[in-house]
Structure 1
Amino acid sequence: MNSSISTASTSEGRTVLVIGGHGKVALLLAAEMADTDNRLISVIRHAEQSDDVRRAGAEPLVADVTTMSAAELDRLIEGVDAVVWSAGNGGRAGAEQTYAIDRDGCQAVVDAISRSSSRPRFILVSWSGSPDHGVDPAVPFFAYADAKAQADRYTMASSVDWTILGPSSLSLEAAGGITVLPDGHSAHPDTPTSRQAVARVIVAVLAHPKTTSHRFIRFSDGSTPIPEAFA
């Protein structure tokens, strides 16, 4: 891990650590937070991604949470106010790598937060269909769906202060409002959710812990302004 960046909180605002910092949602989150008093540290696996992260408005930190020891993970999250998990293999590199990232890596971070004396909040970006995905084990997408579902269940059973976000099918459209679905309901697979909206929901969740803590929030594009959805 590149240890040249301190993850300690600033006096002006929150220090947020996002894992999966070069992903589309994380880069949009960096842009959303760039003009605030908050500090965003983006964990990336490859140094060549650093310039993209800086241009988006965050501080890059090169580390691979899937290979870090427990002690290294403890140091990674030391002093931060919140950890956002936005990493995901999406099943692209085969089942073994998918489980290593989407399940095992996520669970290791949850364990580190559980051990932390500062107990940062944990925001996990999942997907709307995770709890009841029903994906056929014979299809390649099953590994991703199963890994996400296991990570979600592990998080919800932990002692951390968690929020899980379940957007529907992600798009690159500009954000508008959202529709927050009733508990236990998932969006139709073809219902879109803007990635920019997901980034803005993360910002809103950070700002409204009382109304978002210990919730699995499933949502899609809709008409409710995002700040009002969680106020």
Structure 2
Amino acid sequence: MTRIIIFGGHGKIALLAEPLLVAAGNEVTAVIRNPDHADEVRATGATPLVADIEQLDVDALAELIADHDAVVWSAGAGGGDASRTLAVDRDAAIRTMEAAERAGAKRYVMVSYFGASLDHGIDPENSFFTYAEAKAHADERLRASELDWTVLGPSGLTLEDPTGAIDAEATTSETVSRADVAATIAAVLADDSTIGRTIRFNTGSTPIAEAVRG
């Protein structure tokens, strides 16, 4: 049994990933900010943990992560305010990496996006620029860490039903369902060959477990 803590535990992807991880025999803790979401998280089989990651320092985050084996970052500010995007998508994410290192939780899966890169090419005048910057710097910090990391780069997210198949060889971003992203999180956590890799993907025709295998 792997003990997994998911940040952004009430997000659309996390709510789909949690029952998959529980069904695979894992013990899942879902970090949420709003206590009103606890019952919905509990219904997935995960244990809700109310905490405001924006406000917690590395020491406090390490206490949350302690006794877990793996961290999944699926949190986000949700756009809008640029300063909050940096505070959550970059700064809080990086603090959880430092906390995971301190707590001894070696496995870390980052849910990023297909085009994330320091050389993302987004115009600074574009409203997406701050998010692109935040994700690029968080991803790079993770890659430079001593954690057993995987960065997932799904393409444009949809609410379509899961297909169970992706294209992890894609060179241009198309779309993929959130349900298939959730299944990809579960697949990479179950496969150590995904450690140290960035996996960008669209919906496709290769079964997910096969598509992510190194």
TM category, shorter: over 0.9
CA shift for structure 1 position 32: 1.4
Check the 8 A contact 2:166/2:206 in 1, yes or no: yes
Of 133-142 and 42-51, the range deviating more from structure 2: 133-142
2:180 is aligned with 1:192: no
Can you list the C-alpha shifts for 1:76-110, whole angstroms capped at 9, x where unaligned? 11111100000012322x10000000000000011
2:32 is aligned with 1:44: yes
CA shift for structure 1 position 46: 0.8
Alignment-mate amino acid for residue 207 of structure 2: P
1:208 alignment counterpart: 191
Percent of aligned pairs sharing the same letter: 45
In the TM superposition, 1:1-231 aligns within 5 A as 13-92=1-80, 94-116=81-103, 118-131=104-117, 132-176=119-163, 177-181=165-169, 185=171, 187-188=172-173, 191-209=174-192, 211-231=193-213
Check the 8 A contact 1:179/1:219 in 2, yes or no: yes
SS of aligned partner of 1:56: coil
CA shift for structure 1 position 61: 0.3
CA distance in 2, matches of 1:101, 1:63: 13
CA distance in 2, matches of 1:174, 1:39: 25
CA shift for structure 1 position 36: 2.7
1:5 alignment counterpart: none
Check the 8 A contact 1:167/1:219 in 2, yes or no: yes
CA distance in 2, matches of 1:153, 1:195: 24
TM-score by length of structure 2 reads 0.94
Alignment-mate amino acid for residue 179 of structure 2: Q
Can you list the C-alpha shifts for 1:102-161, whole angstroms capped at 9, x where unaligned? 000000011112222x33300000000011421110121111111011111111111211
CA shift for structure 1 position 224: 0.2
CA distance in 2, matches of 1:39, 1:55: 14
Alignment-mate amino acid for residue 212 of structure 2: F
TM-score by length of structure 1 reads 0.88
1:9 alignment counterpart: none
Check the 8 A contact 1:80/1:120 in 2, yes or no: no
Check the 8 A contact 1:33/1:57 in 2, yes or no: no
- The runs of at least 4 consecutive aligned structure 1 residues that moved more than 2 Å come to 33-36
CA distance in 2, matches of 1:38, 1:31: 10
- RMSD of Structure 2 on Structure 1 (CA): 1.3
Alignment-mate amino acid for residue 193 of structure 1: V
SS of aligned partner of 1:158: coil
